[in-house]
Chain A
């Protein structure tokens, strides 16, 4: 869009790109043209007739929302003719609209109300029998519809068609009897249904949870971020008297494109959950004793120091979380590295290293590529906004989608090519793709003998097609989920990216799409046993000493899984677990619980009681999202500021950790959160220039940490030979998982699902299992029960179990490291 078109609006010269609508061009120079049906993201429609303007040389009034700018166009928005038309349209609109503003939730922020006051007639010329309809009926468990208030602007139905692409919400009946509804009156409960509340220009669609709780002008609104998945969508949190009220979208084109998912909107009851940890406490002799938080924090620091002094720095460890903010995680790694001299720092159970051999793409780049290649990623369940952006890219920007996954996802129906490998064969599949591309290019893929391993289950022609599709794309964006890759696949993936970047005609970028709030930030902050903040590997001793101090530890530390193994063997004496629940979420199940029980000191710093916090000797309260501020880095590398919406007595996490540092002699005084951010900007090259001013509204992209080659893939692990009759287990994500965040009090409980195991028809027949039958999945770490779903979701030889609840806890029966095997028998 380089063609700028010049036109005149109300005597003002305006210049706008070709294709811009007059209404948007006018907005640029501060001229407001009232609209109801038009929405920037939904495109022109022209049904409400509110935006009529006069254009010279046009015989009739035209709608400014459907009229694209043209050279030398002269637009008049204030003429008597226009004003008369606006008055007339508003009169028509109001004729059928009940004036129940005093009891309407939209009152105070209602476009109809505002436009009527500004442009409307004072009275009406007509008495008229209004169309009557049932007042507040439920459109879904979370959305209430009042069809009397509807002005039939069709924003919601168009949203469902164009943005969400489900066509779930449609216009029923004709003419005067137009109604918004769903087929067969089914509940409108898609993953993104809540956005229709925000775009409704009247109070027809309201948030059932927020109904009658507060008047909008009494709300205190904080511009915050969603803290669920890795997209970090922007949103506004409305609170009143320190109580959570509602969430609304806050458009940011670089991140969420103006939408949020239902989990972001209604998944916030945890802010007032009954299981929140509100006090610091210690356990001595079986009894819990409450302590002042700062005192407890200092005590933790001293206790850890004592153990480190007695048993060596290798005897203490830190298990962080991809949910913590950059500041908290930075301070924690600083505390452990500089004060306790250990590199036993990690935050995850899957292998991933900072840095990419290709450009780290922003989420908005999904739309200006030619091909999006999804690897092991299931955006609808993991990163909903990525799903919307991909759908938009496909349908409106003619981007192609290729999928390489071990399971069928909701996006498959949009894919130009969908290739499915066997469960657990991700490494082999990636190696085959990299090998295929390398062969075409006549280069060495650098995979050594990793390429020749297990069968992928991909037909040769499909793989050839995929290689061809990748090779011929001009610009490609690879989206991969590191948490869904097993064994050494992460390293193979990086090799694959290297191979793609060697194709001279291709511009390649990638998005490491782990579905956790600050997964990228945790890598950047060096919450890793072998990397310092900014992706500096331990081998760069010089740089580390210079930047982080002469005494920085340089021996490789233990990874999360290794720490637990060492705890089991008694070599690790103390562990601090921050916002993580390894007992449930890490592979190993019961074994982890036993290992943690052997520790001399287990400190858990978390916001909600977990299976792990119940084992802790000292518990520290973390305020968590909604109460704590901080910066996070989303999967597109964008650093944004998450403000707090609610206040609490407890100190924020960064103060707790800096208190720990101070207790062990650190003299740095961070006056505020942004004092920590400033230190990060100084110490971490890729965060240079990130400060409060630069990220406060829309955030700012950090520079990707440098790619330093990283370790090459190793020979495939041959130890996990198939057991008799066992199947390979893949744990899939489910967006509305009934966990500690979306508990039984959640508004989203209608989305909760029972435990299900998806298996291929071939395996079901072999095992004599039928649809709906209850089975037990047993593996070495534990058992899980589930209902059989015979489907084509995965290839024979594997099963897919979505993680649907903490009670089910399917992640704990994974075996970690490589392929996980389960045996299945009838319950």
Chain B
């Protein structure tokens, strides 16, 4: 089986290979099927990858016409047919056992392993499942030999990996990297550095299930082990480099929020734990946080990491764990000083009138929906009553003299 399901918002390497080179995936699958003498092949992908579905089907049709699929392939005893299974969009479908349940028409929920799917997989039969990208590398390896592939990367992780790179960098997109490459090589070298002369603040490695690295760790290599040592994972092999305009708590909220929405709800820690963490992060970003929350969050995340069933719960907490590990100061600043330096946490906005700049034009009074602004006319500087203010930002937009902070 081919796992061509990508739920991660920042990665699209499977999509690109299925759209750009569907024959490569089919060829890889056929080689694998021949190796284990499989009789049925399934390419699982998302129904919203409509171009990929169309091109895969076309590739399969062409393969059938040329006799690479079907009965007695190329005159041998080996027969196999492959079909495309269009799954519905759900992050958890990417988990191997959930994916197989989805093909069986059941509710996709990861199963406890063992038994592994190579013993007891789809329909209770031994099943070999690999990612579309993995299958796509197979033909090249077979053609050029294992030595060629092994020559790339460090000794504990051979080969290369396609990364989806995004963030505040000049050039983003998919890049196939030797595993020896460091983040700094990529950001400063291939991607042309951080845009607009700003500085690198955080590397979000591993997508929504990954974690955050500070600039000091930008020299980390992009192989599995180095990443794990740094406290993050390769995950869906995507990373984003952000500049100072990014808030670590805001990024964590996005990751946790995504995972909380996508968790299947099978196991307790992930189902309930992620919701609690989301609520806690909301508290912090809206000024209701307490200092002890940081330690609580850390303890909670460690528990979820240890006790949850599948990779989703296990890795979803990386965003918070690495955030606290490397950016604890930022958490504390949110809680104690109630300031978000990147101005991302709207809940922490406070509106002040710079009295020396205010010309008392009265422009800010009308848009205020709660009547929190007094003065502002007859040469008296405006004053915002913070008890009434709801942080709607209307006065900020209305002020023509940048007098409201």
Contact between A46 and B265 (Cβ–Cβ < 8 Å)?
no
Among A44, A47, A68, A128, point to the contact of B268 (Cβ < 8 A): A47
Residues of A within 8 A of B300 (CB): 125-126
Q: A170 to nearest B CB, angstroms?
A: 7
Roughly how many angstroms separate A66 CA and B266 CA in the complex, as a whole number? Answer: 14
A52 in contact with B276 given A63-B112, A92-B268, A152-B271 (CB within 8 Å) = no
Roughly how many angstroms separate A297 CA and B309 CA in the complex, as a whole number? Answer: 67
Contact between A152 and B268 (Cβ–Cβ < 8 Å)?
yes
Binds A, one of B78-86, B255-263, B382-390: B255-263
CB-CB contacts below 8 Å: A583-624 with B: none
Among B268, B271, B306, point to the contact of A60 (Cβ < 8 A): B306
Roughly how many angstroms separate A152 CA and B263 CA in the complex, as a whole number? Answer: 13
CB-CB contacts below 8 Å: B275-301 with A: 275-276, 279, 296, 299-300
Q: B197 to nearest A CB, angstroms?
A: 42
Contact between A61 and B307 (Cβ–Cβ < 8 Å)?
yes
Roughly how many angstroms separate A151 CA and B272 CA in the complex, as a whole number? Answer: 10
Roughly how many angstroms separate A586 CA and B279 CA in the complex, as a whole number? Answer: 69
Binary flags per residue of A68-80, CB closer than 8 Å to B gives 1, else 0: 1000000000000
Contact between B306 and A61 (Cβ–Cβ < 8 Å)?
yes
Among A52, A129, A174, point to the contact of B265 (Cβ < 8 A): A174
Contact between A125 and B296 (Cβ–Cβ < 8 Å)?
yes
User: In the complex, what residue of chain A is closest to B303 when comparing beta carbons?
Assistant: A88
Q: B208 to nearest A CB, angstroms?
A: 14
- Interface residue A638 (Cβ < 8 Å from any Cβ of B): no
Residues of B within 8 A of A60 (CB): 306
Residues of A within 8 A of B111 (CB): 46
Contact between B267 and A46 (Cβ–Cβ < 8 Å)?
yes
Contact between A45 and B112 (Cβ–Cβ < 8 Å)?
yes
A52 in contact with B307 given A47-B267, A63-B112, A92-B273 (CB within 8 Å) = yes
Contact between A177 and B296 (Cβ–Cβ < 8 Å)?
no
Among B273, B306, B309, point to the contact of A47 (Cβ < 8 A): B309
Among B113, B299, B306, point to the contact of A85 (Cβ < 8 A): B306
Among B112, B262, B307, point to the contact of A175 (Cβ < 8 A): B262
Contact between A49 and B309 (Cβ–Cβ < 8 Å)?
yes
Contact between A95 and B265 (Cβ–Cβ < 8 Å)?
no
Roughly how many angstroms separate A84 CA and B306 CA in the complex, as a whole number? Answer: 10
A175 in contact with B309 given A126-B276, A128-B276, A154-B266 (CB within 8 Å) = no
- Interface residue A698 (Cβ < 8 Å from any Cβ of B): no
A170 in contact with B309 given A47-B268, A49-B269, A176-B260 (CB within 8 Å) = no
Residues of A within 8 A of B90 (CB): 174
Residues of A within 8 A of B262 (CB): 174-175
Residues of B within 8 A of A66 (CB): 112-114
User: In the complex, what residue of chain A is closest to B108 when comparing beta carbons?
Assistant: A174
Contact between A129 and B279 (Cβ–Cβ < 8 Å)?
yes
CB < 8 Å A-B pair total:
98
Contact between A49 and B264 (Cβ–Cβ < 8 Å)?
no
User: In the complex, what residue of chain B is closest to A176 when comparing beta carbons?
Assistant: B275
- Interface residue B308 (Cβ < 8 Å from any Cβ of A): yes
Residues of B within 8 A of A173 (CB): 265
CB-CB contacts below 8 Å: B239-265 with A: 260-265
Contact between A46 and B272 (Cβ–Cβ < 8 Å)?
no
Residues of B within 8 A of A46 (CB): 111-112, 267, 309
CB-CB contacts below 8 Å: A174-223 with B: 174-178
Roughly how many angstroms separate A170 CA and B107 CA in the complex, as a whole number? Answer: 9
**Size bin of chain B's contact surface:** 20 to 34
Residues of B within 8 A of A95 (CB): 272, 276
- Chain A CB within 10 A, most for which of B267, B268, B296, B306: B268
Binary flags per residue of A136-168, CB closer than 8 Å to B gives 1, else 0: 000000000000000110100000000000000
Residues of A within 8 A of B308 (CB): 49
Roughly how many angstroms separate A170 CA and B273 CA in the complex, as a whole number? Answer: 23
Contact between A47 and B266 (Cβ–Cβ < 8 Å)?
yes
Roughly how many angstroms separate A174 CA and B260 CA in the complex, as a whole number? Answer: 10
Roughly how many angstroms separate A129 CA and B283 CA in the complex, as a whole number? Answer: 13
The total of chain A residues at the interface (CB under 8 A) is: 36
Contact between A128 and B279 (Cβ–Cβ < 8 Å)?
yes
- Interface residue A731 (Cβ < 8 Å from any Cβ of B): no
Roughly how many angstroms separate A48 CA and B268 CA in the complex, as a whole number? Answer: 5
Roughly how many angstroms separate A170 CA and B109 CA in the complex, as a whole number? Answer: 13
- Interface residue A746 (Cβ < 8 Å from any Cβ of B): no
Roughly how many angstroms separate A152 CA and B264 CA in the complex, as a whole number? Answer: 11
Residues of B within 8 A of A48 (CB): 267-268
User: In the complex, what residue of chain B is closest to A63 when comparing beta carbons?
Assistant: B112
Q: B118 to nearest A CB, angstroms?
A: 16
User: In the complex, what residue of chain B is closest to A97 when comparing beta carbons?
Assistant: B272
Roughly how many angstroms separate A135 CA and B323 CA in the complex, as a whole number? Answer: 39
User: In the complex, what residue of chain B is closest to A96 when comparing beta carbons?
Assistant: B272
- Interface residue A282 (Cβ < 8 Å from any Cβ of B): no
- Interface residue A93 (Cβ < 8 Å from any Cβ of B): yes
Binary flags per residue of B105-127, CB closer than 8 Å to A gives 1, else 0: 00101011110000000000000
- Interface residue A467 (Cβ < 8 Å from any Cβ of B): no
Q: A202 to nearest B CB, angstroms?
A: 12
Contact between B271 and A178 (Cβ–Cβ < 8 Å)?
yes
User: In the complex, what residue of chain A is closest to B295 when comparing beta carbons?
Assistant: A125
Q: B36 to nearest A CB, angstroms?
A: 24
Roughly how many angstroms separate A173 CA and B263 CA in the complex, as a whole number? Answer: 11
User: In the complex, what residue of chain A is closest to B261 when comparing beta carbons?
Assistant: A175
- Interface residue A688 (Cβ < 8 Å from any Cβ of B): no
- Interface residue A89 (Cβ < 8 Å from any Cβ of B): yes
User: In the complex, what residue of chain B is closest to A94 when comparing beta carbons?
Assistant: B272
Binary flags per residue of A117-133, CB closer than 8 Å to B gives 1, else 0: 00000000110110000
Roughly how many angstroms separate A770 CA and B11 CA in the complex, as a whole number? Answer: 61
Among B114, B265, B306, point to the contact of A176 (Cβ < 8 A): B265
Contact between A151 and B268 (Cβ–Cβ < 8 Å)?
yes
User: In the complex, what residue of chain B is closest to A174 when comparing beta carbons?
Assistant: B265
Contact between A88 and B269 (Cβ–Cβ < 8 Å)?
yes
Contact between A49 and B307 (Cβ–Cβ < 8 Å)?
yes
Roughly how many angstroms separate A44 CA and B266 CA in the complex, as a whole number? Answer: 13
A175 in contact with B279 given A44-B112, A92-B273 (CB within 8 Å) = no
A85 in contact with B112 given A47-B268, A49-B308, A176-B263 (CB within 8 Å) = no
Roughly how many angstroms separate A178 CA and B114 CA in the complex, as a whole number? Answer: 25
- Chain B CB within 10 A, most for which of A46, A63, A85: A46
Roughly how many angstroms separate A128 CA and B261 CA in the complex, as a whole number? Answer: 18
- Interface residue A293 (Cβ < 8 Å from any Cβ of B): no
Among A89, A93, A125, A174, point to the contact of B264 (Cβ < 8 A): A174
User: In the complex, what residue of chain B is closest to A86 when comparing beta carbons?
Assistant: B307
CB-CB contacts below 8 Å: A343-360 with B: none
- Interface residue A9 (Cβ < 8 Å from any Cβ of B): no
- Chain B CB within 10 A, most for which of A46, A49, A151: A49
Residues of A within 8 A of B265 (CB): 152, 171, 173-178
User: In the complex, what residue of chain A is closest to B308 when comparing beta carbons?
Assistant: A49
Roughly how many angstroms separate A49 CA and B114 CA in the complex, as a whole number? Answer: 15
Roughly how many angstroms separate A129 CA and B276 CA in the complex, as a whole number? Answer: 9
Roughly how many angstroms separate A536 CA and B221 CA in the complex, as a whole number? Answer: 88
Q: A153 to nearest B CB, angstroms?
A: 8
Roughly how many angstroms separate A45 CA and B307 CA in the complex, as a whole number? Answer: 14
Contact between B112 and A176 (Cβ–Cβ < 8 Å)?
no
- Chain A CB within 10 A, most for which of B261, B263, B269: B269
Among B112, B272, B279, B296, point to the contact of A93 (Cβ < 8 A): B272
Give me 19 other A-B pairs in contact (C-beta within 8 A), A49-B308, A68-B114, A175-B275 excluded: A46-B112, A47-B267, A49-B269, A49-B307, A61-B307, A67-B114, A85-B306, A88-B303, A88-B306, A92-B272, A92-B276, A125-B296, A129-B279, A152-B265, A154-B266, A174-B265, A175-B262, A175-B271, A176-B263
Q: Which 10 A-B pairs have the closest CB atoms?
A: A46-B112, A66-B112, A88-B303, A178-B265, A175-B263, A175-B265, A47-B266, A92-B272, A176-B275, A49-B307
CB pairs A–B below 8 angstroms (15 shown): A46-B112, A46-B309, A47-B266, A49-B267, A52-B306, A63-B112, A67-B114, A93-B268, A125-B300, A151-B268, A154-B266, A171-B107, A173-B265, A176-B260, A176-B263
Instruction: Report B's interface with A, CB cutoff 8 A.
Output: 90, 107, 109, 111-114, 260-269, 271-276, 279, 296, 299-300, 303, 306-309
